[in-house]
Amino acid sequence: MGKNWNEVFGEIEEEGRNQKNPYDSVRNRYIELLSQHTGRNVVCYYSGWLEKSGPQFGNAVSINDEDKNGFMASFHGLQTERGLDLFLHSPGGSVAATESIIHYIRSKFGKDIRVFVPQLSMSGGTMIAFAGNEIWMGRHSNLGPIDPQFGPQPATLVIQEFERAQKEVLADPNKIHVWRPILEQIPPTYLSACQYAIDWSRDIGERALQDGMFSDREDKIEKSREVVDFFSNVDAQKHHSRHIHREECENIGLTIRHFEEDQAMQDMVPSVHHALMITLMNTPALKIICNQNGILHQIGVSPSGH
């Protein structure tokens, strides 16, 4: 039977009386139990961005190129013919790193990839989820929009606002006085860079779906575009942080499995998730990448926050 948050935390406290690293031992035990049940490799990629959200944590909690080292360590020695069950909890991050991680995961496990999202996998995390043949979600699970951001600014809205200014000024030249202060803040090549970022993100999402979940469909190109249209549509999603629910993911055509449909998954997955989240909440860990064999790649922060 799976454990809820308080039960897992209590188990960690109890083991902490007798050993130095109870967070590791409890987390490893639940991941190993799940792997034994499924007969598959289990790798967890978890960020502590919810617990450690200050600017001092910078790029460390986001998807970045350092993460490739964690995946390399976690994949080393695994029997790849057993497939991969990938747990994701991420705010997203670098588009380049996201693309590279998807390519690396695919090179190791081909199409035999299942993705588990017990809570949140946003932005670039959603694009990594697209690499799975199926995505397991609960009622409380969410994916997120994949429109690229330039700092706090959505690239799509930058272009839309410029086009709006152009249209309004052409219709009424006097409006240039309203738009000039805004337009003067746009540096040379910025609009082109925004468009390239949009095209790049779309390409990553579409290829991830075409190479995996939709690979056997005759309409895989059209279907992948439809899904990416939905996840990158700023007008529909309103904000990059919007939480897209399981039902919406199903309705747009993603292959979604429900934790509630499988009692063993309903029991085991929350225990793994709680153990990881408690580790992120109560230790210096900023990010955890680990597998069922106890291999751990952990990015941490010193007590001073540096």
Domain membership flag for residue 258: yes
Q: What residue numbers bound the domain in which 28 lies?
A: 5-144+243-300
Q: How many domains does the chain have?
A: 1
SS3 for the chain, per residue?
CCCCHHHHHHHHHHHHCCCCCHHHHHHHHHHHHHHHHHCCEEEEEEECCCCCCCHHHHHHHCECCCHHHHHHHHHCCCCHHHCEEEEEEECCECHHHHHHHHHHHHHHHCCCEEEEECCEECCHHHHHHCCCCEEEECCCCEECCCCCEECCEEHHHHHHHHHHHHHHHHHCHHHHHHHHHHHCCCCCCHHHHHHHHHHHHHHHHHHHHHHCCCCCCCCHHHHHHHHHHHHHCHHHHCCCCCCEEHHHHHHCCCCEEEHHHCHHHHHHHHHHHHHHHHHHHHCCEEEEEEECCCCEEEEECCCCCC
Q: Examine residue 77 and state whether it is found in any structural domain, yes or no.
A: yes
Residue 177 domain-assigned? no
* Confidence class for position 305, pLDDT limits 50, 70, 90: very low
Interval 238-273: pLDDT, tens: 898 999 999 999 999 999 999 999 999 999 999 999
Does any domain span residue 44? yes
- Predicted structure pTM score: 0.93
CATH at residue 48: 3.90.226
Q: How do residues 26-44 score in pLDDT, each as one tens digit?
A: 999 999 999 999 999 999 9
